Amino acid sequence: MDILYFAWVRERIGLPRERVETKAATVAELVEELKAREDRYAAAFADLSALRVALDQDLSDFDAPLDGVREVAFFPPMTGG
Amino acid sequence: MKIAVQDSPFDFGAEAEAFSAGASGAGAVVTFAGLVRDADEGSLAAMEIEHYPGMTERALTRIAEEAMARWSLADALVIHRYGRLETGEQIMMVATAARHRKDAFEAAEYLMDYLKSRAPFWKKEILKGGGSDWVAAKDADEDALTRW
């Protein structure tokens, strides 16, 4: 699946998107896999309350299943307007 | 209904005129423009706005459709820019048209409240002395959604 990062999450991880092969069943499991990779991921995902997640471009939550999901995006709370 | 996400500037007057002219049956048109505001100490050089192409258009369309249905609007418009914007530049505008002004005002406020915290934009302040800061979301903006 494609994973996208925006704003300071993108800066902290150091790339805007990447493709990962995962068997994670939920967003939370995917986050744990990413955190185990490298310090920069662990730093970006240290406080999940400061993050939002979208699944296939719809806002979702960390307990959501990843079944059939093609695109996961992580970003801080939005500041439009 | 018009939803536009663009890096180029827009002509607020021309957009408002065209919107008003096309809103048949409406007795009220409300427009709002948001500008890049300088910091109190005048330290802001520019604002950089990042967005999530695809999801942004989707989220704005959904928010505008919700407003259209809830206030029986004749029409609604949202234009939001991204990229680097200088102090004083227009970031975004919304317009609503309804039979009566109360609906037009309320729907415009609803659009603003939702696109502040439910449309995937992120603002970064670029400071004159160098350096930059991501703008943190305000609790007040999230709380504002509860009134709807």
Longest Cα–Cα distance of chain A, Å, equals 37
- The ipTM estimated for the assembled molecules is 0.95
Most B CBs within 10 Å, among A12, A60, A78, to test the B interface: A78
CATH number at residue B59: 3.90.1170.40
- Provide, rounded to the nearest whole percent, the portion of chain A with pLDDT above 90: 99
| Neighbour-count burial of A37, counting CB atoms closer than 10 A to its CB (0-12 exposed, 13-18 middle, 19+ buried) | exposed
In this structure, what are the phi and psi dihedrals at residue B25, rounded to the nearest 5 degrees?
Answer: 85, -10
Residue A81 · residue B115 · CB < 8 Å: yes
| pLDDT surpasses 90 at B111 | yes
Residue B60 sits in which domain range? 2-147
- What is the identity of the amino acid at A23? K
Q: How far is A68 from chain B (nearest CA, A)?
A: 18
- When CB atoms are compared, the residue of B55, B92, B134 closest to A81 is B92
Q: How far is B57 from chain A (nearest CA, A)?
A: 10
Partners of residue B123 in chain A, C-beta under 8 Å: 79
In tens, the pLDDT along B14-66 reads 999 999 999 989 999 999 999 999 888 889 999 999 999 999 999 999 999 99
Report which secondary-structure segment, H or E, holds B115.
helix B101-117
* pLDDT the model gives residue B40: 83
What is the residue-wise DSSP string for B32-81? EEEE-PPPTTS-EEEEEEEE-TTHHHHHHHHHHHHHHHHTT-SEEEEEEE
Partners of residue A6 in chain B, C-beta under 8 Å: 50, 52, 120, 122
- When CB atoms are compared, the residue of A7, A73, A77 closest to B50 is A7
Q: Which two tokens stand for residue B134?
A: 């991501």
Residue A78 and residue B148: Cα distance in Å, rounded?
18
- Average model confidence (pLDDT) across chain B: 96
Q: Which of B78, B80, B89, B92 is nearest to B36 (CA)?
A: B89
If one counts the domains in chain B, the total is 1
Is the CB of A80 inside 8 Å of chain B's CB atoms? yes
* pLDDT the model gives residue B39: 83
The per-residue b/e assignment along B113-129, b for 16 or more CB within 10 angstroms, e otherwise, is bbbbbbbbbbbbbbeee
| Segment A41-61 mean pLDDT | 97
Which pTM value belongs to this model? 0.95
* pLDDT the model gives residue B97: 98
What domains lie within chain A, and their CATH numbers?
2-75 (3.10.20.30)
Residue B130 zone, left/alpha/beta (φ > 0; ψ -120 to 50; rest): left
* pLDDT the model gives residue A36: 96
| Segment B75-98 mean pLDDT | 97
